[in-house]
Amino acid sequence: MFTASEIRSTFLKFMESKGHTIVASSPVVPGDDPTLLFTNAGMNQFKDVFLGFDKRPYKRATTSQKCVRAGGKHNDLENVGYTARHHTFFEMLGNFSFGDYFKRDAIKNAWELLTQHFMLPPEKLWVTVYAEDDEAYDIWNKEVGVPAERIVRIGDNKGARYASDNFWMMGDTGPCGPCSEIFYDHGEDVAGGPPGSPDEDGDRYIEIWNLVFMQFNRDEKGEMHPLPRPSVDTGMGLERISAVLQHVHSNYDIDLFQNLMRAVVKAVEEAGGENVDPNSPSVKVIADHIRACTFIIADGILPGNEGRSYVLRRIARRGMRHGFKLGARDLFFSKLVKAVAKEMGDQYPETRNPHIEEVLRQEEVRFSQTLAKGLDILNEALADGTKVLGGDVAFKLHDTYGFPVDLTADVCRERGVTVDFEGFDAAMEKQREKARATGKFKMAQGLEYEGSPTEFLGYETLAVHACRVEAIYKD
Ligand code: ATP
Ligand code: MG
Ligand code: MG
Ligand code: MG
């Protein structure tokens, strides 16, 4: 059986044998790109090469790229723990052609790797192509031999939640082009429909690999100009292909995650949790979030209230809250950094920096005070035996004390109390209007936010602002 680590090296060596130079992952924090919150795809570090502003000594490259999708246009934060395939932090295996090979070789290489090296049965693989891309369709159908029943033409499908969209754009402007995606059928015992069908959001047919054919440069007016030399950018999630090759249906069942999840259960139980269910969404969330936090801090970000720092804080606190939900009443989250380093330190030695655990420990101490304070306020509000918690109280907890509303709802549920969410939303909206009226300001890193620079706007409001940061993908 392939381990995740062997899959990574098999991919890179295969692409090397096809003339690609192995290039190291860039940091999850993009160096000089204010349009991007975190690195969200392998192509990010080659953006300027595709645009023609930068030249490299190679025309073909391959990477295993550290990615974070927890803000901007690619935000998978809320999916984590609840779908079998989304992480906040994941590794993207990719191969790139800078004006060298194009559709035919991209498709044939991908197929060769999957069917002859990873030995996947062809009948388990489905492909999608952009609706009008007859060229890609014909390569798949006539040259590779994928039958028409398993090739789906997809346009700008905006229906389903994770709807396939086979025209890839770098942003509002820049290189773009049709893409072709490869899906794996996890079998009848998993719910979900094939790509392009109304129930494609399920976990049966999982997208494993996206092949982007960069063909145009889109200008400010939205006009497409053919690139002089068409290029290729591909991305395959390491955790997703690992699930396939390890014959499991969820990313959380692969070797790497199972080891991490065992460490999570142990740490939570040592902190006071009892009989923790090793397969609960909370355990998955914690295992996912500790990886993201470890890598983001390793690349130089500290928890805070703005931009990237805020996103880091949000991920960390979400992880801690899930531990609390499982019964942890003592520090546990920061202690898990070692488990991440154990799993990933060989490939990513930066995870072994002792500074990471210390930063998270301080954040955990701070948040445990927030939790304690929030619980006091909540206890007081519920002392008179009320069965509905006022939206204003929930909002005050959230806004002033950083006590997340979903935690408020959890605690209330345990006591048979409901939360007045309408009142909460109304208070939030009032706050937003106030913030808008206070004016605009520019935050560090050139990100433009609305609101007063002196007033703490509350986590959700900040998250909404953080999401305005343009990611370079259209998703
Ligand atoms: P999905 O539709 O499943 O959300 P996507 O279309 O957003 O995926 P792409 O932007 O095409 O994903 O990224 C290329 C590949 O990276 C995907 O085919 C998948 O294997 C992997 N990938 C994308 N998002 C995630 C994630 N949140 N966690 C793990 N792997 C991911
Ligand atoms: Mg997605
Ligand atoms: Mg997709
Ligand atoms: Mg995709």
The DSSP line for 422-464 is HHHHHHHHHHHHHHHHH-EEEPGGG-EEES-SSS---HHHHHH
Q: How far is the CA of 319 from the centre of ligand 2 (A)?
A: 21
Q: How far is the CA of 76 from the centre of ligand 2 (A)?
A: 7
236 lines ligand 1 (CB under 6 A): yes
Q: Which of 128, 130, 203, 210 to mutate to test the pocket of ligand 1 (most atoms within 8 A of CB)?
A: 210
Position 461 scores a pLDDT of 35
| Burial (Cβ within 10 Å: 0-12, 13-18, ≥19) of residue 225 | exposed
Q: How far is the CA of 306 from the centre of ligand 3 (A)?
A: 29
Position 156 scores a pLDDT of 60
Nearest CA residue ID for atom 20, ligand 1:
237
Angle at 117 between CA 112 and CA 123, to 5 degrees: 65
86 lines ligand 1 (CB under 6 A): yes
- Both tokens of 213, joined, read 């054919």
Q: Which of 184, 238, 240 to mutate to test the pocket of ligand 1 (most atoms within 8 A of CB)?
A: 240
Q: Which ligand is nearest to the CA of 240?
A: 1
Q: Where are the beta strands (DSSP E) in 25-173?
A: 60-68, 70-71, 74-75, 89-97, 125-130, 151-154, 167-169
203 lines ligand 1 (CB under 6 A): no
Nearest CA residue ID for atom 3, ligand 1:
207
Residues in the chain with pLDDT values less than 50 = 158-164, 439-475
Q: How far is the CA of 131 from the centre of ligand 4 (A)?
A: 15
Q: How far is the CA of 127 from the centre of ligand 2 (A)?
A: 17
Angle at 28 between CA 244 and CA 92, to 5 degrees: 20
Q: How far is the CA of 178 from the centre of ligand 1 (A)?
A: 16
Angle between helices 354-382 and 307-325 (to 10 degrees): 60
Q: Where are the beta strands (DSSP E) in 20-166?
A: 21-22, 60-68, 70-71, 74-75, 89-97, 125-130, 151-154
- Nearest atom in ligand 1 to the alpha carbon of residue 92 is 16
Position 73 scores a pLDDT of 65
239 lines ligand 1 (CB under 6 A): yes
Question: Whose CA is closest to 166, among 140, 136, 142?
Answer: 136
Q: How far is the CA of 345 from the centre of ligand 3 (A)?
A: 29
Q: How far is the CA of 77 from the centre of ligand 2 (A)?
A: 11
87 lines ligand 1 (CB under 6 A): yes
Mode of pairing for the β-strands spanning 60-68 and 21-22: parallel
Position 448 scores a pLDDT of 34
Q: Which amino acid is at 73?
A: K
Nearest CA residue ID for atom 8, ligand 1:
207
Position 170 scores a pLDDT of 62
Q: Which of 90, 93, 256, 291 to mutate to test the pocket of ligand 1 (most atoms within 8 A of CB)?
A: 90
Nearest CA residue ID for atom 23, ligand 1:
237
Nearest CA residue ID for atom 16, ligand 1:
237
Nearest CA residue ID for atom 2, ligand 1:
162
- Nearest atom in ligand 1 to the alpha carbon of residue 74 is 7
Position 176 scores a pLDDT of 83
